[in-house]
Amino acid sequence: MPPIHSQSSQKLTNQESKILLALSDLQNNHVKSIHTAAKLYNILYRTLATRANGRAAYIDKYLSDHKLIQLEENLLAE
């Protein structure tokens, strides 16, 4: 049975991809508002608005706070 962690990682990657696409569409004026982009990409409005205002993705903040990535930690634990 695969670890649950990989399933949640895939879900986060998919969510992050949708956010980046929505932000790109907003920047290129393909979509006129954050609200419309959020509906179009099935993203929470608040999440998209926060990211559009310059806040970094959680994973980027998490990785910058850690010296080792998860893979390196797992290798050291073996």
The string of pLDDT tens digits covering residues 16-48 is: 899 999 999 999 999 999 999 999 999 999 999
Share of the chain above pLDDT 90, in %: 45
* pLDDT of 69 over the 70 cut: no
Q: How far apart are CA 51 and CA 45, in angstroms?
A: 10
The pTM is what? 0.64
- Range of 3-12, 47-56, 59-68, 69-78 with top mean pLDDT: 47-56
Instruction: Find, among 75, 10, 22, the residue nearest to 48 by Cα.
Output: 22
* pLDDT of 7 over the 70 cut: no
